[in-house]
Amino acid sequence: MAVWPKDSENDGLQAHFRPTDPDPRTEITRFPFIRRLLKSRKFQFFWILPNQIIFWVVILTGLLGVASPTRNFSTVITWYIWFCAVFLLMVGVGRGWCLMCPFGGFAEWVQRSTFWNRRPKSLTLGRRWSERLSRYGLLPSVALFVLLTYFEEFYNIAAPGVPAYTSTLVLFVIGSALISFLLLERRSFCRYLCPLSALIGTVGATGMVTGFRTRDRQVCLDCKTKDCMRGSEHGYPCPWYEWPGSATSNLMCGLCTECFKSCPSDNIGLFLQKPLTSVIQPLRRRWDIALGIAALLGLVLFQQVNALPVYATVDGWLNARMHFPGYPNPVDYLGIIAAVVGVISAYVWLVQKVFTRRDRKPDSTFTQWFMPIAYGLIPLLAADYLARQLPRFWDHFLRIVPAISDPFDLGWNLFGTAHSPLYNVHVLSTAGVVRSQLIVVALGMIASAYATWRIVGRDLRSMSLRANGLRLATSGFTLLLGASMLALYVAMGGAQ
């Protein structure tokens, strides 16, 4: 029998809500070519394979290639191109990276002992993720992302620093995924432990792909077999533990197509949606996502603050007092993240006190207010992370051209570009880089203000006094937060 995690949108087989069915006009699987493509068991394999090859080349070139990080294929493609491309994919598609991820993909091939065929037995102990831990949802992923980012900052991996450090980081993620897949069932690693899972799931809510959804929810409610969750001869059980019949966001759909292959009623499709739909629309908001949004926002704001001259003074002072060996000091690193979470929480508490209707005070909790207001910050979070990657991208992404010609520093010139003048070409000037960051953050700020206006008007109207005043207050806070980010980018002056 299928068991749903406590952090799922599912409440047993019968959902406690019945959201509106997707608009069939936006279904892309209604086109025969796309249907045949997604029904093929080789579909995901051919998405994963190119990335699998690239990242094993990343590992080898980081360990054996040219010592200069600005010429090494592993550091150039990882920190100048890949990280920025992944954020663009999140903003546009949602969990599009999960579809083609080489880390989970490699571990899943080992777990299933096949590249694409459906096999009844898997090479795994099949342990279930702890029910107690599942109550914390994606917070373990947030914690691991914060921890890995700290080590990345400490060892200067993404500056980029020593190429071997990039290879070590990639090997660590692949090894962690493989061990988890051999111990735990399905894609428990991807759902709970992947350092990028929370960030992709959260930022991906801005995307225009719904994930796989049911066409007619009543058909799903009446279905006796639930092959999408339990699997069939055509497909594996949903690796992500998601039931299409109750999905109201694209948060946890890894786009693996297994439910689409397994459904006996041909009642599942892949749909497009308006941007921000998965930010505004969910009928059940999650406290772990809300807290994760605040923490991830604190992390990216730390990365802005640490580019300012004043930060080096504060960090150096703390290191001298604590006899800590180097940047960043864990106190100011975690302190800035905690301060951002604290400021957002304090604002929500103040808004709750000011705007809660007297007759709703007994059932008006802090969490009920914190969740919708935090969800409204998702577009700003997405924009800030993307903007933070732009200096490296605009200044250095063309260095991939010479890097691919001699990846192992053996004097090769495979594509005739080993000595390309593009190595020193910056696509944008420093002023242009800053302008691109301001444009991205400004768009995120406007989108967040709009999303907050819509969310608060729907989710908090029944509990609030002066609903329009509440909308203005919360949207205004979002604009103020965005304006602070814009000021930081101006002060940073295109710093990487």
Most confident segment among 7-21, 326-340, 463-477: 326-340
In this prediction, residue 370 carries a pLDDT of 97
Q: What is the tens place of the pLDDT at every residue in 447-470? A: 999 999 999 999 998 887 788 899
| Percent of the chain scoring above 90 in pLDDT | 77
CB 62 within 8 A of CB 157: no
Upstream peptide bond of 328 is cis (omega within 30 degrees of 0): yes
3-state secondary structure 297-364: HHHHHHHHHCCCHHHHHHHHHHHHHHCCCCCCCHHHHHHHHHHHHHHHHHHHHHHHHHHECHHHHHHC
Residue extents of the structural domains in the chain: 24-280, 287-492
In this prediction, residue 13 carries a pLDDT of 41
In this prediction, residue 217 carries a pLDDT of 86
Give the Cα separation of 412 and 406 in Å (integer).
5
3-state SS, residue 269: strand
Mean pLDDT of 347-359: 89
Give the DSSP per-residue string, 114-161: SSS---S--SS--BPPPHHHHTTTTHHHHHHHHHHHHHHHHTTTTTT-
Q: What is the tens place of the pLDDT at every residue in 62-90? A: 999 988 999 999 999 999 999 899 989 99
Pick 184 or 16 by higher pLDDT: 184
Give the Cα separation of 190 and 108 in Å (integer).
10
CB 103 within 8 A of CB 174: yes
Helical ranges in 376-416 per DSSP H: 378-396, 400-403
Give the Cα separation of 307 and 293 in Å (integer).
22
Q: What is the tens place of the pLDDT at every residue in 103-147? A: 999 999 999 999 999 998 899 999 999 988 999 999 999 999 999
CA dihedral 63, 69, 72, 78 (to 10 degrees): 90
Q: pLDDT at residue 15 above 50?
A: no
- Is residue 209 within a helix (H) or strand (E), and if so which, with residue range? strand 209-214
Other CB atoms closer than 10 Å to residue 318's CB: what's the count? 18
Q: Mean of the per-residue pLDDT values for the chain? A: 91
**Which pair of tokens denotes residue 54?**
């690239």
Q: pLDDT at residue 10 above 80?
A: no
In this prediction, residue 9 carries a pLDDT of 61
**Which pair of tokens denotes residue 258?**
């297994």
Q: What is the tens place of the pLDDT at every residue in 160-218? A: 889 999 999 999 999 999 999 999 999 999 999 999 999 999 999 999 999 999 998 88
Q: pLDDT at residue 12 above 50?
A: no
Q: Which residue type does 391 have?
A: P
Give the Cα separation of 179 and 127 in Å (integer).
12
In this prediction, residue 413 carries a pLDDT of 93
CB proximity list for 305: less than 8 A, separation 6 or greater: 311, 336, 488
